[in-house]
Chains A and B, each alone.
Chain A
């Protein structure tokens, strides 16, 4: 907990993760080198899953990073940022992602539906965050191109 003034930058998101209710990775995109190897990534994912899947809170500080998350039926969505980052910005990314998927899957945000629509997921995330920069925050524009075509 220091008093660094954040260097102004558009790079705000460190990672976007989606896990099933066993803590297994369904989707993961890391935008910087915080966890360079797959092994470290999986260890990190296991850690945050253990700490968050029992409680229903939206936000936590783990391994020195801010984690905002949301769960629905059997899916867990995470957006990770630095601990100095504006938590509400990270929440907006999480909400945009969740809402886009919700539209795409016709409100059926659960594992089976998601797996049948993986390409929609890939494209949605690609439209929302690009290389760690928030590209889109409105779920209407974020999901719609693939929404109409995906099924």
Chain B
């Protein structure tokens, strides 16, 4: 057999693989040789090797053939050849999952495990534990315990590691061996100590006290094994994190002392642990950083890599701590290992000064094509952070980014770059033209639909506001001609925005739209026809509603209301105002570059919180006929934490009513509450109509009771009110263990905190991407204006935040961000008032000696305007 293969070798030349043309069935046939006596060790060894090789290559073995081979192999135990025996152990492990009745070798393995040949004992233990189940384990428990404390290190290690593997299967049995493991932990052998500690930790990890004791003991007595030290450092870090102990605890001291250990592995582990701790001060980080700095100049690439990677993480939170290493990092830029060089550059980008940016960018561009996609994304993220830090450098970075866009790369990489460019454009108006130009060039040749549509959307939003919008039209229209349906549809929408905003471009856009109406795809034709009609009307209000600011209602809500409408025949046309608004304001393209995800989950349109509440409330008969749910507030706590009864309230606003939902929890296990309701005393002319009590409130099972309140009709400006709330219920004492209540009970009450209803409860946030158009759309017929002096507010930031939270309206056009060092600011807010009335607020703020604010309110309803102004005042 062996000779044949050698011949083949010589025939096919050098470098060929004697295992290359192995055929599974042929090899298994050969295994019959095992049954021959006397056993020929060399031949059998070779056959076993071939079997394991096949398994290793991923060859599939059916159960029958595997079992046959396994049984044949058991015969080989008769031989005393050491290598053969050890290969048998290996075969047992490899075939444990694919063969049946593997437990027949148990007695042979047990014999070897307790036998005289030390060479066999370790591997025999490991093989045995691979095939053992819980019942068998108890049978060999005695041998395992002896093996753990055996003097021969390989035996002890094998026993300890096998015990660890079996913890998953039989935790209770292995737990009984903890004393033996403890004894093994004082061994001199570095691996035995490591394994013993690991096992002890796994057995005790749910008992924090035991772990702390163990840690204290071993840190005092000292350890011999660098691996054990690493394990201890990780345990100490975890404990520090869980107990939130301060950095003056002995655990931290232990980790810090490891920085001076003689093994590099331990030093690095300690430095890494310190860096990852959540609340490290710069002073605590300093020794770790200096150690990492030393590693940067190590001849071993792995050390340099580990050091620079950790320094990179430090730079994210404490850039100043890393500046001491800048010189060493600069040396690493030319490292032959590209990963190290990239990490060095990105760290420098985070900590470097503005003047070094040009130089660094030039160095990266020279090799960015050679690094892997993951690192390319890292570099893009670093550049994005840098752009925010040094906005003046945007032109250098923009050109660098556009070069990267032109190169090859995966989807995640290109997306990271596009997101980065878009965020630069949004943050920095000076860069807009260059940025848009680069993006236009990119979509000429972009294979990713998602990116093309995103860029077209951006072009539609920002392009019309540039000085020469016409130059973008060509790029957009080319997409209409050349690309897939989704991209064409996006291009049509973008074109419409240009037409709506720029009157001089309108005729050209209309002509192009006409051509789009001939498209082969439904969606494209529909959009083109729709936009044509809207544009031809030439009315600003229509443009604002249908082209600029999209659908602001919740999509599942829309679906439900439409369905309702189709069921009930009606003369009136469908009214959009009956659809509840989208609760989560659609955030304005907050482009955050996420790290490369290894799995991508598809996006699902989950029903929003509001839709869930709507369904719950509609199920209660007393609450029929109130109309659609307008808004639900966030939960408000009406009791302190740790009280006997925990109550929180959610305010649901309808057109003319409010429903207060009280979620109550009883934390006393010896009481059962029944007929629970909350009595409310309003301070203004709100009328409590009805209470729906919660029938039962047993221990620790939350339940809800409701109160229906009518809003005052005669005084529409009375939007705010305070309710004093008392919880009333029937209490029956019950047995804490069984929960059985006694027969009679008594009435009781429990005073809750006051509940406030404010103007924000009557307003739903709505995002208007184009505030100016919406402002024009409402018109100034019902506009009112007033000026206020804000006495208690010192900064513009504070004023802006106060108004946003008080009115509960959505800031638009990114006006919630006040630029630095400015004395004046304009805040745009949008919302819809209860009843479906759009309301827009423009607040001009000036910082002189205190803050003055001029508020202009526009709405489609006069009362709403009055309400807003009255609330602000």
* A binding-site residues for B, Cβ under 8 Å: 1-10, 20, 25-29, 38, 41-42, 51, 55-64, 68, 74, 86-92, 111-112, 115-116, 118-119, 122-123, 126-127, 130-131, 133-138, 141, 145-146, 149-150
Is there contact, CB below 8 Å, between B269 and A118? no
Docked Cα-Cα span, A20 to B14, in Å, equals 14
Check A112 against B15 for contact (C-beta < 8 Å). Answer: yes
Q: When the two chains form the complex, which single residue of A3, A5, A58, A137 contacts B337, counting CB atoms closer than 8 Å?
A: A58
Q: Does A112 lie within 8 Å of B313, measured CB to CB? A: no
Q: Looking at B93, B157, B205, which has the most chain A CB atoms within 10 Å of its CB?
A: B157
- Expressed in whole angstroms, the Cα–Cα distance for A111 and B16 within the complex equals 9
| A29 in contact with B276 (CB, 8 Å) | no
Q: How far is the CA of A131 from the CA of B300 in the complex (A)?
A: 28
- Give the one of B153, B161, B235, B269 with max A CB within 10 A: B161
Number of chain B residues close to chain A: CB under 8 A? 77
- Residue B677 at the A interface, CB < 8 A? no
Q: A10-B195, A41-B58 are in contact. Are A118 and B276 (CB under 8 A)?
A: no
CB < 8 Å: which of B17, B53, B164, B237 contacts A10? B164
Contact with A along B1-44 (1 / 0, CB 8 A): 00000000000001101110000000000000000000000000
Residue of A nearest to B118 (CB): A145
Query: What is the distance, in angstroms, from B354's C-beta to the closest C-beta of chain A?
Result: 24
Shortest C-beta distance, B346 to chain A (Å), equals: 10
Whether, in the assembled complex, B699 has its beta carbon less than 8 Å from a beta carbon of chain A, the answer is no
The 4 closest A-B pairs by CB, nearest first: A57-B337, A38-B58, A10-B198, A8-B234
Whether B312 and A1, one on each chain, are in contact in the complex, defined by CB atoms closer than 8 angstroms, is yes
- A10 touching B52 in the complex, CB below 8 Å, given contacts A5-B241, A57-B339: no
B231 touches A135 (CB 8 A): no
- B164 touching A146, Cβ below 8 Å: no
Knowing A38-B58, A68-B302 are in contact, say whether A141-B83 is a contact too (CB < 8 A): no
Would you call B86 an interface residue if the criterion is a C-beta within 8 Å of the partner chain's C-beta atoms?
yes
Chief secondary structure at chain B's binding surface: helix
Contact A60 B339 (CB under 8 A): yes
A115 touches B337 (CB 8 A): no
The CA of A137 and the CA of B202, in the complex, are separated in Å by 22
Instruction: Tell whether B218 is near chain A: CB-to-CB under 8 Å.
Output: no
Q: What's the least CB distance linking B118 to chain A, in Å?
A: 9
Q: A8-B201, A41-B58, A87-B302 are in contact. Are A92 and B265 (CB under 8 A)?
A: yes
Known A63-B598, A135-B161, A137-B227; contact A6-B234, beta-carbon cutoff 8 A: yes
Given contacts A87-B305, A115-B19, A126-B90, contact A8 B157 (CB under 8 A): no
Q: Tell me if A3 and B48 are in contact (CB < 8 A).
A: no
With the chains together, A134 CA to B90 CA distance in Å? 17
Report the minimum CB–CB distance from A103 to chain B (whole Å): 15
**A2 contacts which chain B residues (CB < 8 A)?**
595
Closest B residue to A50 by CB, please name it.
Answer: B372
* Docked pose: A122 CA to B56 CA in angstroms: 10
CB <8 Å contact, B53 and A133 = no
Query: Which residues does chain B contribute within 8 Å of A135, judged by CB atoms?
Result: 157-158, 161, 191
Give the shortest distance, in Å, between B590 (CB) and chain A (any CB).
20
Residues of the B chain whose Cβ atoms lie less than 8 Å from the Cβ of A42: 58
Which B residues are CB-close (under 8 A) to A29?
Answer: 56
- What chain A residues lie within 8 Å of B52 (beta carbons)? 118-119, 122
Set of chain A residues within 8 Å of B198, measured between Cβ atoms? 9-10, 133
> A89 contacts B301, CB within 8 Å?
no
13 A-B pairs with C-beta separation under 8 A: A4-B276, A10-B202, A58-B337, A60-B339, A62-B374, A63-B374, A86-B272, A87-B302, A88-B303, A115-B17, A119-B83, A123-B87, A136-B157
A133 near B49 (CB under 8 angstroms)?
Answer: no
- Smallest CB gap from A42: residue in B: B58
> What A residues does B205 contact at CB under 8 A?
8
In the complex, are the beta carbons of B15 and A74 less than 8 A apart? yes
Contact residue among B14, B238, B303 (Cβ-Cβ distance under 8 Å from A112): B14
Q: Tell me if A58 and B301 are in contact (CB < 8 A).
A: yes
Of all chain B residues, which has the CB nearest A28?
Answer: B56
User: Inside 8 A of A7's CB, which chain B residues have their CB?
Assistant: 234, 238
Q: Is B165 an interface residue (CB 8 A)?
A: yes
Docked-complex contact A145 and B276, CB < 8 angstroms: no
Do A10 and B278 touch (CB < 8 A)?
Answer: no
In the complex, what distance in Å separates the CA atom of A20 from the CA atom of B15? 10
Given contacts A41-B58, A61-B375, A88-B264, contact A145 B338 (CB under 8 A): no
Contact B82 A145 (CB under 8 A): yes
Q: Which residues of B contact A38 (CB under 8 A)?
A: 58
Give the chain A neighbours of B818 by CB distance below 8 A. none
Instruction: Contacts A38-B58, A61-B375, A145-B82 given; indicate if A133 touches B195 (C-beta within 8 A).
Output: yes
Chain B residue numbers with a CB within 8 Å of A6 are 234, 237
Closest chain A residue to B87, Cβ basis: A119
* B562 at the binding interface (Cβ < 8 Å): no
User: In the bound complex, do residue A118 and residue B49 qualify as a contact, i.e. CB atoms below 8 Å apart?
Assistant: yes
Q: Are A8 and B58 in contact (CB under 8 A)?
A: no
Contact A119 B48 (CB under 8 A): yes
- Which of B14, B201, B336, B378 lies in contact with A1, CB distance below 8 A? B378
Q: Give the nearest-CB partner of A52 in chain B.
A: B372
B57 contacts A by Cβ under 8 Å: yes
Complex Cα distance, B195 from A91, in Å, reads 19
Q: Is B126 interfacial (CB 8 A cutoff)?
A: yes
Interchain CB contact (< 8 A) of A56 among B17, B53, B336, B340: B336
Are A10 and B231 in contact, with the CB atoms below 8 A?
yes
Which residues of B in the span 565-593 have a Cβ within 8 Å of any Cβ on A?
A: none
Residues of B within 8 A of A131 (CB): 161, 165
A3 near B278: Cβ-Cβ < 8 Å: yes
Contact A145 B86 (CB under 8 A): yes
Q: Once bound together, how far apart are the Cα atoms of A91 and B274, in whole Å?
A: 22
**Cα–Cα, bound, A59→B306 (Å):** 9
Q: Is the CB of A123 within 8 A of B303?
A: no
Contact with A along B704-732 (1 / 0, CB 8 A): 00000000000000000000000000000
With A8-B238, A123-B87, A150-B83 known as contacts, the answer to whether A137 contacts B301 (CB < 8 A) is: no
CB distance from B256 to the nearest CB of A (A): 16
Judge whether A61 and B231 touch: CB under 8 Å. no
B48's closest neighbor in chain A, by CB? A119
A88 touching B306 in the complex, CB below 8 Å, given contacts A6-B234, A59-B337, A145-B82: yes
Known interface pairs A59-B301, A118-B19, A119-B48. Does A88 touch B374 (Cβ–Cβ under 8 Å)? no
